[in-house]
Amino acid sequence: MSSTELTFKLVNQSQCPFYDIGDKFKLSGNALLLKFEGENTFISTAIVRFPGSKENCRTLIGDLTNLLIQYENINRIPSCEIDCSGCNGSARLQYEKEKLLSPAPAELPNTAEIQLITSLLSNFSIFRSLDETHLKSIVSLLKLKKYPKGAIVIKKGDPAQNLFIILSGSVHVLDENDACLSILKKGDVFGEMSLISGDAVGATIKVAEPSSIAFIQQNDFNQIFNQFSSIQTYLTRMLAKRLARSNIMRAEQITSGMTGQLSELSVMELLQALNLSQKSGILSLKLAAGPAELFLKEGHLVKARYNDMKGRDAIYAVVREKEGRFNFDPKLPDEFKDTPIIGSMMEILLDASRIIDESP
């Protein structure tokens, strides 16, 4: 909410049934235009305060709110006079600016406005599992900002600060050479990787078209992340998918028979990439404790052996290894083509991560 409110003073009236010359009306708040599925939606936090205990005129409320919607921000409204569009009487108001020392509790968004923002957030995947009560608690932490085309939202190397949610428009994810790596659109989030890891921002985000973006500051994000396990799960899966996508090109090289070092690409990353690209073949590893072989059919594990271990035990042991060499042979022997899979790759990797985290 803006720290400024406009005081409208009644300077002329004729047969107005409610108000007298000299009465003052206060307007504060903002209005934000969001585009969803080709439709325009306004989120307005307009607050109109009437003089004393006099009756509230709905027509005058509409006139003042429309003025706020026209300029979107309370600070953009120029000096002006407005005529009430209401009944048989007439009234003319003009305003003078005043600065508030601190926002008054009565100027918080009302129930209807919170309900509108809550319903919008419920459409986004990251918040879809939360109920209305929890969504309303998150709404109070959101800040909204509109970006013109070409604006830089965050820059590669910046410290982690916010989690961003695109409400409308789109942005480009750029590398250090300003090449576009991907496009993010309405409902997508960014900035979460650096918040979770504590590392600097890994890519520059540039606005591709005029966009409305909500953001949650780091301290508030940490509070939300720790409170809601469903958001933890969502972000974990999203990070895993992004990691797999980023390694897919390297996985294509691996599937052509190339070798590599585990110090450059971990077993976990290898399996994620091979699963995403639905490859069949044998992933052979030369490790300090001995050789290992993982057999994959269309991206899923059907057999694993490492020293005296087999199946999941072998997989969990191999995933722990950080040093060694790997080779992928894209030819799966015929004897394994009808072998049932050991389990879902995502389930196996999540179990492996949990076991590693719980180990001394």
Q: What is the pLDDT of residues 323-346, one digit of tens each?
A: 999 988 888 888 888 889 998 887
Low-confidence ranges of the chain (pLDDT < 50): 1-3, 35-37, 98-110, 113, 255
Residues 218, 331 within the same domain: no
Q: Clarify whether residues 129 and 148 are in a common domain.
A: yes
Q: Which residue has the tokens 């691996």?
A: 254
Residue 150 shares a structural domain with residue 76: no
What pLDDT score was predicted for residue 160?
79
- Measured CA to CA, the distance from residue 169 to residue 210 in angstroms comes to 6
Q: What is the DSSP letter of 56?
A: P
**The pLDDT of residue 356:** 74
Q: What is the per-residue pLDDT across 257-283, written as a single tens digit (0 to 9) for each?
A: 567 788 877 888 888 878 877 888 899
**pLDDT of 238:** 66
User: What are the DSSP calls for 258-308, one per residue?
Assistant: -EEETTTS-HHHHHHHHHHTT--EEEEEEETTEEEEEEEETTEEEEEEETT
* Shared domain check, 255 and 234: no
**Of 218, 238, 258, which one is at a domain's C-terminal end?**
238
What per-residue confidence (pLDDT) applies to 311? 92
Please report the pLDDT score of residue 295 as a whole number.
Answer: 94
Helix (H) / strand (E) containing 186: none
Start-to-end CA span in the chain (Å): 49
Domain ends where: 83, 107, 131? 107
The rounded distance, in Å, linking the Cα atoms of 326 and 340 is 24
What is the model's pLDDT at position 99? 40
**CB-count burial class (<10 Å; 0-12, 13-18, 19+) for 360:** exposed
pLDDT value of residue 144? 80
* 232 & 321 share domain: no
Which domain CATH number covers 151?
A: 2.60.120.10
pLDDT of residue 102: 34
Q: CA nearest 210: which of 75, 354, 35, 61?
A: 35
218 and 252 in a single domain? The answer is: no
**Residue 307 is part of which domain span?**
247-358
Same domain, 256 and 353: yes
Measured distance CA(142)–CA(355) in Å, rounded: 36
User: Same domain for 123 and 230?
Assistant: yes
Tokens representing 170 are 């789109």
Which pLDDT score is estimated for 359?
A: 67
- Residue 331's identity, in one-letter code, is K
Same domain? 27 vs 135 = no
| Residue 306 near residue 314, CB atoms below 8 Å | yes
Chosen domain end from 79, 107, 135: 107
What does the pLDDT read at residue 33? 52
**Residue 105 pLDDT:** 32
Strands 290-297, 189-190: pairing kind: unpaired
Domain count, the chain: 3
